[in-house]
Structure 1
Amino acid sequence: MVSEVFQPPSPAAVPVANPRQILATRDLAALNERSNLEGSVRLTAHLAIIGLSGYLWGTGSTWLALPSLFLYGISLAFMFCAMHECAHRTAFANAKLNDGAAWFAGLLSFYNSTFYRRYHKWHHRYTRIAGKDPELGDLEPENVLQYLWQLSGIPWWQGKIVGHLKTAFGQLDNCYFLPEATHAEVIRSTRLQLGIGVAIALISTTLGHPWFLAKYWLLPLAVGQPFLRFILLAEHTGCSSDDNPLTNTRTTLTLSPLQLLMWNMSYHTEHHLYPSIPFHRLPKAHQQLKTHFAHIEPGYLNVNQKIVAAFK
């Protein structure tokens, strides 16, 4: 199995009594500044990549179609990152913009933001705490076969299809992170999302394009999922199983194009330490906080190599 912490804390890590009081109130207030402009520019850029790569996938020559499919699939799957940021209501200064963009991003990436917002709130409140963090319900790989199974995206597809259908039929008994007062809203939102998918399939079939949804959504999303799994495995795998955000979460330094599609989510320790900081301020927060972190890795390939090397 993967060791609880597969690498010792960085010698540069500076211990603190209360991790969430590292930043002074004034410094945190400056980092917390949200911007409709920053959110709009990033969302427009992300959608432009999806649109251009999708167009080239659908109409490009053979030699261009395959790389376009990979970029299209990755950018489509990484709309999860846009939904994640908007679900925190930090992508935009306007709450309605956050909620609308989160729902749309979830539609593209096969998440439901109404459900995810409550689910993810519990993940932040009880990060890595067994029995409380809902993300621990996802299998953490203990050998190479489990690792490859996770990367395939198949468990994710199974979880999403079953989860969406159960939610649509009102089966929320095991969703302890959903207050009962939110059940009707979550059910309604999920039904609407699934209804849109069904409507697109019916309309495209009527218009003579029965494979439209498969070609422009199912296949690309299936291609992009392994890349997203590769990224998400790095966030907490091998980190401490306690409530210390300086040791239970990992920041991974990566290239600017990937940061763009990830909405800077690679600065994950910063995000868990101060979820109120919007994506465009996370690089600055990193400079102020990095000396306190136990896990900072130079690249996702490096992290995943260490995850595999730690299997016993």
Structure 2
Amino acid sequence: MNSEQTLISLDETVDRETLIHQSAYIKKLRPLLPPEAFEPDSSKLAILLINLGILLLGWGIADNLDRWPVYFLWLYLPLAAIMGNSIIVLLFSSHDLMHGSVQKKSALTYPIAFLGLSMLLMPPTQWKSLHNLVHHNTTNSLADPDRNYLHQQPDTWGKWIQNLFVPSVEVNPLWLIVGMAGSWAVHNFRNVSSVLLFNDKSVDYVPAAFTVSKKDRLTIALECLGILAIHLCILFYLDFNPIKVTLAYILPIAIGHAGAMFYIFTNHMGCRMTSINDPLINSASLRVPKIFDLLHFNFSYHTEHHIFPSINSNYYPMVQELLEIHYPQRMNLIDAGEAWRLLRETPRHYKDEVTFTDSLGKISVNCSILEEYKG
């Protein structure tokens, strides 16, 4: 780490080589935001429940697919796409729910989050530990389970699969398609197995292992069984019929997971590592068509979320405006298509905190490439 990359005061003019801790941004921007920005928005709970209803409706219609003429089955595809979007919405609404921006903590928070995350195969207790506590406090650092692998890390099965699936200069387009649909499941399995089988920070097939308490470890195991039961119930309801299962179960999940992974891949994987949690440097926000911000709770404003995890997501654009005023040209703000292109054209392992390299360590690309193209 360069000696200049240290925590600084708010009043100091800085360039992108100097890191600022998240808490400094909060101290600067919080007084400039209206109090209602930090009030829970219960309307998103209704949207979560509506999208659960969409999935139930889709499965109800699919129960009759075996009676449809084969040449009419394509008519189900638009509904499968809508169901896939509902799975994305369930992830992002559950995400906001567990950050406390949807409702104040209540007895309903846990069961609703469990249902919302079940189609993402994610135990909510693991999500709370992995995402809320570890990822948000150690974003894109050596301790972050969601970062790219280091080139120096062992060539384990986890690293091999990630190198095969994630967007990079090395990835085969066919494997990338598989990876878009399957990376979320791999990510879940990698972390769940690390916690349930070992619960030790020495586990080497994850980018960075984390641990949970004995109580949470048992809860995660029980939640996994509950999620498995939900999916088996869906498959039983669809009679394990190949047509029903393909169109109403596999296809919506593949679409939903791929849509979520597009955001997740671009959130941090094109950014450099930081030893100080500086969201404007280790995270990226996307410019997307407004319809996607409307559908997905402004999830494209990811840097803003990392500064204020529990803020009402309707106020992310206001946070972005304040960042552009008080920290001009500092954040990674980039068109979604450009961010995706850069991920495809650069390697995905960290050689060091500011350099990407390929799986063989032969290519070196400065991580600032995202910053250079953000305009």
TM-score normalised to the size of structure 2? 0.66
**Residue 265 of structure 1: how far off its partner (Å):** 1.4
Query: In the superposition, relative to structure 1, how do residues 269 and 172 fare at CA in structure 2: closer, same or farther (>3 Å)?
Result: same
Matches within 5 A, 1:124-139: 124-130=136-142, 132-136=143-147, 139=162
CA distance change for structure 1 residues 95 and 264 in 2, over 3 Å: closer, same or farther?
Answer: farther
Q: 125, 128, 133: which is aligned to 1:117?
A: 128
Name which of structure 1's ranges 211-220 and 242-251 shifts more when overlaid on structure 2.
211-220
Match status 1:303 vs 2:309:
no
Structure 2 portions without partners, runs of 5+: 1-14, 150-161, 201-208, 348-362, 364-375
Counterpart residue number, 2:48: 43
**8 A Cα contact 1:83 1:113, kept in partner:** no
In the alignment, residue 345 of structure 2 is paired with which amino acid? A
RMSD, aligned CA = 3.5
Superposed CA offset, 1:40-89 (max 9, x none): 34324544655666677776944533333233223324422222222212
Q: Which runs of 5+ in 1 are unaligned?
A: 1-10
SS in 2 for 1:296: strand
Output the CA distance in 2 between the equivalents of 1:109 and 1:200.
Answer: 14
Deviations 1:5-30 (A, max 9, x none): xxxxxx99x99682232214473744
Q: Which one has a larger percent helix, Structure 1 or Structure 2? A: 1
Cα offset for 1:111? 1.7
| Residues 162, 280 of structure 1: alpha-carbon distance in 2 compared, 3 angstrom cutoff | same
- Conserved in 1, the CA contact under 8 Å of 2:147 and 2:268? no
Q: Is the 8 A contact 1:270 1:282 kept in 2?
A: yes
Contact 1:42/1:263 (<8 A) preserved: no
User: TM-score, with normalisation over the residues of structure 1?
Assistant: 0.78
Select which of 180, 189, 192 maps to 1:152: 180
Given the superposition, is the C-alpha separation of residues 282 and 62 from structure 1 closer, same or farther in structure 2, using an over 3 Å criterion? same
Identity of aligned residues (%): 19
CA contact (8 A) 2:87 2:257 kept: no
- Using a 3 Å threshold, how does the CA distance of structure 1 residues 165 and 215 change in structure 2: closer, same or farther? farther
Alpha-carbon distance in 2 for matches of 1:273, 1:146: 35
The 5-angstrom pairing of residues 34-183 of structure 1 reads 34-36=40-42, 38-47=43-52, 50=55, 61-62=72-73, 64-120=75-131, 121-130=133-142, 132-136=143-147, 139=162, 141-145=167-171, 149-150=175-176, 151-161=179-189, 170-174=196-200, 176-183=210-217
Cα distance in structure 2, aligned partners of 1:260 and 1:63: 28
User: Alpha carbons of 1:244 and 1:185: their partners in 2 closer, same or farther (altered >3 Å)?
Assistant: same
Contact 1:235–1:249 (CA<8 Å) still a contact in 2? Answer: yes
- Tell me: CA distance 1:278–1:245, structure 2 relative to 1, closer, same or farther (3 Å): same
Match of 1:244 in 2: 278
The structure number with the bigger radius of gyration is 2
C-alpha displacement at 1:245, in angstroms? 1.1
User: How much has 1:199 moved relative to structure 2?
Assistant: 3.8
1:188, CA displacement in angstroms? Answer: 1.8
1:236 and 1:249 in contact (8 A); partners too = yes
Are positions 1:226 and 2:258 aligned together?
A: yes
* Cα distance in structure 1, aligned partners of 2:51 and 2:294: 8
| Matches of 1:261 and 1:75, distance apart in 2 | 9
Q: 1:219 to 1:16 in 2, by over 3 A?
A: closer
2: CA distance, partners of 1:22 / 1:53? 47
One-letter amino acid of the structure 1 residue matched with residue 310 of structure 2: S
The superposition leaves residues 143-190 of structure 1 with CA deviations (integer Å, 9 ceiling, x where unpaired) of 2416864543334334435665776xx424245242334222222222
1:274 aligned residue: 308
- CA distance in structure 2 between the aligned counterparts of 1:64 and 1:53, rounded to whole angstroms: 12
Relative to structure 1, is the Cα distance of residues 195 and 47 closer, same or farther in structure 2, using a 3 angstrom cutoff? closer
Contact 2:268 2:282 in 1 (8 A): yes
Q: Which has the higher contact order (CA 8 A, sep 6+)?
A: 1
- Equivalent residue letter for 2:213: P
